[in-house]
Amino acid sequence: MFELDYRLQNDCVEVGSLMVSRILLMKDANYPWLILVPQREGISEIYQLDVDDQEQLIWESSFVAERLMATYDGDKMNIAALGNVVPQLHIHHVMRKQDDAAWPNPVWGAVPPKAYSRHALRHRVEQLQAAFETSTFKPAELPPA
């Protein structure tokens, strides 16, 4: 049975899910930063997914990237599946702007995470849920306002 890694649970808020992946919002208001987690048990690498799930994951990643860029008028989309600390397969999607806190460097360790206010977190999740509206998207429960 699929279980989300506790570190992802602690560092993120659920936005919703697509056919293969759960969509999480990283609790760092410095950047629009989403993480896709394929809901498959015991997977740490993309090649471990079956071919249908691999194809669906690539579609979901592209869909999320395109919607993030359009919603927040990004300059660059950074996509990475590192897994050095959290081995569960998860793919970061960080929408970058040339005036963001870490530009042009990677976001990891560049500046301390900036916490969302409760209102701002709920608003961000609402924006993302509206951006991902499609027949295969299932929104998660909104965080408290």
Instruction: Dump pLDDT digits (tens) for 1-21.
Output: 899 999 999 999 999 999 999
Phi then psi dihedrals of residue 63, to 5 deg:
-60, -50
Report if pTM > 0.75.
yes
CA distance 122 to 29: 12
**Confidence at residue 86, expressed as pLDDT on a 0 to 100 scale:** 97
pLDDT digits (tens, 9 = 90+) for 94-110: 999 999 999 999 999 89
Model confidence band, residue 128 (pLDDT cutoffs 50, 70, 90): very high
Q: Residue 101 is encoded by which pair of tokens?
A: 């806190």
**Confidence at residue 145, expressed as pLDDT on a 0 to 100 scale:** 80
Model confidence band, residue 60 (pLDDT cutoffs 50, 70, 90): very high
| Residue from 142, 137, 22, 19 nearest 91 by CA | 22
**Average pLDDT along the chain:** 96
Strand partners, 65: none
Segment 41-45 mean pLDDT: 97
**Confidence at residue 144, expressed as pLDDT on a 0 to 100 scale:** 87
| Sequence letter at residue 13 | V
pLDDT digits (tens, 9 = 90+) for 76-94: 999 999 999 999 999 999 9
Segment 63-85 mean pLDDT: 97
